[in-house]
Structure 1
Amino acid sequence: MNISITPAAEKFMRRMVRFGGGGPDAGFRLQVTAGGCSGYASEFNVEPPRAGDATLDWNGLTLILPTESRLLLEGVTIDFADTPMSSGLTFINPNAASCGCSTSAPSGPAGVAAISIDSIRRKA
Structure 2
Amino acid sequence: MNITVTPSAEKFIRQMVRFNGGEGSGFRLSVSAGGCSGLSSEFTVEPEPKTGDSIVMAGGIKLFLPAESRLLLDGVTIDYLDTPTKSGFSFVDPKASPCACSSSAPAGVASVDISSIKRNG
Matched residue SS, 2:62: strand
* Alignment correspondent of 1:72: 72
**Residue type of the alignment partner of 1:26:** S
Distance 2:38 2:115 in 1: 18
Matched residue SS, 2:37: coil
TM-score by length of 1: 0.89
Shift, 1:82, TM fit: 0.9
Shift, 1:23, TM fit: 4.5
* Alignment correspondent of 1:62: 62
Matched residue SS, 2:2: coil
**Residue type of the alignment partner of 1:36:** G
Matched residue SS, 1:57: strand
Matched, 1:116 2:105: no
Identity %: 60
The answer for unaligned runs of 5 or more in structure 1 is none
* Alignment correspondent of 1:45: 44
Shift, 1:120, TM fit: 1.4
Matched residue SS, 2:16: helix
The answer for unaligned runs of 5 or more in structure 2 is none
Please, what is the CA RMSD of the aligned residues? 1.4
Matched residue SS, 1:16: helix
**Residue type of the alignment partner of 2:86:** S
Shift, 1:97, TM fit: 1.4
